[in-house]
Structures are given as structure tokens and as C-alpha cells.
């Protein structure tokens, strides 16, 4: 009696099998035979994509872990995302074993692992909801009462640094270390005086030359931007020392404006750092070892001066 040959799963059911034996098409047996190495590839791809997702979000991960210590909602969100990653890997393996192409399964897994894109049943994000303005305000007040809070500098300083040109930083350092700068207006004059005076050339300075800016023709725009950011203010008062004005009034642009009319008059002004601008420069532009140096004093804008010294009632 001859031995029954072993079944060949690569070719289908063996010869002589009973009629009621389950029949598997050749393609199904081939797919089942290839499923084992395919699942190994799926596991490798899944691990790769899971690692990629983790690296992509690692920059924020530790911040979220820190918040999770004191915020139960954040802790719950982290737990949900970790569970979701494990579920996606299992779903990926089952999807491929059921006949889904590997590329399609991996694409679906990548979309599932994308942070902030997986909706819940009600159109809400699986992560913590964005805090409302009132909640942000309460967090700000909480930090103000925190005696261990070591935040330095105004929170607007980071935004201001992104809105400054390099030449504007040089102008700020000139004002901080060199003090208030002289500025002159050239107006029409004559026997009638200032009653019918007309402005010919406003705000002429030597700030560009003294600061060493690269684009000296942009100095008026630089000063306007610094004023917009609340870092400088333009005083109608002259400096106590008249010597700096003599240098400014001898400049070609001032002489040209004065010679453009028959009667001309020079009105002396000054440009100062605001208290906010002084603190900004010391916090962001001055090196730590230079903070102990003595810096020139700037005038206070009229609005602040009026609040500090309202005068007799």
C-alpha cells in the first residue's frame, strides 16, 4: 500500500480528495502561502510609519506630557492617541491579510496616524479643544499669581523681533547707547513769522550715518516702523545741548531745503526711545555682560508724563 502524498498547498486540493472537502481556488492558496512574509513586511512598514509619526510629533510631545500632569483633559488625550496608534497597527495587519494591497493599507494607516485629523462621531478633534479667549485670560492671571514664574521680557518682544529690519536694530542701539537724537524741520519763515509758515522738509537727522545703516534712504521708513511698534517717539522739544544741531544743520539735505525758499527757518526737534523701547533693547539687543553699563536717559512721552505728573488741579 503506497503512502498518501502530502498535500501541496501551492497547487490546490490534492488528487483523490473527497467531493465534500472544501475547495479552495488556486489563487486563494497562493495568497495564503504568501501572507506570512507579507505580514512580516506589514509589521515592518507599520513600525516605520509609527516611528515616523512619533518623530514628527516629538517636538511637542514633552510639552504635552508636562501639561498632562496638571490637566486631566490633556492626559486623557495622550492616552487616546497612544491607544489609537496600537489599534492602527493591528488593523493594518488584518487589512493586508484579508487581501487589501499593502500600499493602500499603509496609506490608510498614515492618514489615521496623522495628528489632529481623526474626527470623532460629532465632528470634534480627538485631541484637546482649543482654549477659549476667557480660558487663556484665566491662564494669564494664574501665571501672574505664580510666585515661581520666571518669565523675562514682554511676550510681544518675540513678535517685534520678527518685524524689525537689521538697520532698525542698529538705530535702536544708537538711541540706547547714544541717547536721544537731534532732528530738524525746515519751514518757511520771514517777517510774518510762524503764522503762515509752511513745512518744507520734516524730520531731517543724522541717524542713518551715525547708526551705520545699509540703506540710508530708508531711514524715514525705519523710524515710522519703530514708532508703529511703540519703540520710539518724536518729541517737539529740542535737546538741551545745541552742539548736535549745528552738525545736523550743516548737512547737504538741510542746506538744500533752506536754500529752496527765500526765507527759511529751522525748527529743532528730538527723537527718543519710549520706556517700552528701552526695556526691549536691554532685553533683546544688549549682551548680558553689558547690562550693568550706564545708558543715557530718554524723555518720557507726553501721555505717560501727564499720567505721572498731572499737575495742579
> For 283-308, how does the pLDDT look when each residue is reduced to its tens digit (9 = 90+)?
999 887 777 778 999 988 887 655 55
**Average per-residue pLDDT for the chain:** 74
* Residues ≥6 apart with Cβ < 8 Å to 109: 46, 49, 88, 89, 91, 92
As a whole number of angstroms, the distance between CA 180 and CA 183 comes to 10
Q: Where are the domains of the chain?
A: 26-113, 157-288
User: CA-CA distances (angstroms) from residue 32 to 96, 105, 129, 145, 261?
Assistant: 11, 18, 45, 65, 98
Q: pLDDT tens-digit profile of 149-202?
A: 666 678 899 999 999 999 999 999 999 999 999 999 999 986 655 567 889 999
pTM of this prediction?
A: 0.54
Higher-pLDDT residue of 221 and 7 is: 221
pLDDT over threshold 70, residue 222: yes
157-288 CATH choice from 1.10.357.140, 3.30.70.920, 3.40.50.1100, 3.30.110.190:
3.30.110.190
Listed residue (116, 237, 137) closest to 185, CA to CA: 237
CA pseudo-torsion sign 164, 63, 59, 134: negative
As a whole number of angstroms, the distance between CA 134 and CA 99 comes to 51
As a whole number of angstroms, the distance between CA 263 and CA 96 comes to 91
* Residues ≥6 apart with Cβ < 8 Å to 246: none
Per-residue model confidence (pLDDT) at position 32: 46
Q: pLDDT tens-digit profile of 236-277?
A: 999 999 999 999 999 999 999 999 998 899 999 999 999 999
As a whole number of angstroms, the distance between CA 129 and CA 137 comes to 16
Q: pLDDT tens-digit profile of 47-64?
A: 555 555 555 555 456 566
Amino acid at each position: 500500500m503506497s503512502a498518501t502524498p502530502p498535500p501541496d498547498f501551492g497547487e490546490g486540493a490534492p488528487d483523490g480528495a473527497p467531493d465534500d472537502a472544501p475547495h479552495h481556488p488556486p489563487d486563494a492558496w497562493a495568497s495564503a502561502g504568501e501572507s506570512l512574509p507579507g505580514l512580516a513586511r506589514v509589521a515592518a512598514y507599520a513600525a516605520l510609519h509609527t516611528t515616523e509619526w512619533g518623530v514628527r510629533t516629538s517636538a511637542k510631545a514633552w510639552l504635552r506630557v508636562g501639561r498632562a500632569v496638571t490637566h486631566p483633559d490633556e492626559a486623557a488625550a495622550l492616552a487616546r492617541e497612544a491607544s489609537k496608534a496600537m489599534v492602527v497597527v493591528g488593523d493594518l495587519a488584518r487589512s493586508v491579510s484579508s487581501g487589501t494591497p499593502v500600499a493602500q493599507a499603509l496609506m490608510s494607516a498614515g492618514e489615521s496616524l496623522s495628528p489632529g485629523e481623526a474626527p470623532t462621531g460629532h465632528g470634534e478633534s480627538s485631541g484637546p479643544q482649543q482654549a477659549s479667549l476667557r480660558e487663556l485670560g484665566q491662564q494669564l492671571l494664574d501665571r501672574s499669581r505664580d510666585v515661581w514664574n520666571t518669565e523675562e521680557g514682554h511676550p510681544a518682544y518675540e513678535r517685534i523681533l520678527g518685524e524689525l529690519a537689521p538697520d532698525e536694530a542698529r538705530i535702536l542701539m544708537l538711541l540706547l547707547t547714544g541717547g536721544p537724537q537731534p532732528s530738524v524741520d525746515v519751514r518757511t519763515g520771514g517777517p510774518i513769522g510762524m503764522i503762515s509758515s509752511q513745512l518744507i522738509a520734516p524730520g531731517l537727522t543724522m541717524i542713518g550715518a551715525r547708526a551705520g545703516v545699509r540703506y540710508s534712504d530708508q531711514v524715514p521708513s525705519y523710524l515710522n516702523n519703530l514708532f508703529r511698534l511703540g519703540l520710539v517717539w518724536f518729541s517737539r522739544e529740542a535737546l538741551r545741548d545745541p552742539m548736535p544741531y549745528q552738525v545736523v544743520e550743516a548737512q547737504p539735505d538741510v542746506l538744500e531745503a533752506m536754500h529752496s525758499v527765500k526765507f527759511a527757518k529751522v525748527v529743532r526737534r528730538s527723537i527718543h526711545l519710549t520706556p517700552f523701547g528701552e526695556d526691549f533693547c536691554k532685553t533683546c539687543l544688549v549682551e548680558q555682560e553689558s547690562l550693568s553699563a550706564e545708558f543715557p536717559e530718554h524723555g518720557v512721552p507726553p501721555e505717560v508724563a501727564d499720567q505721572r505728573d498731572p499737575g495742579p488741579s
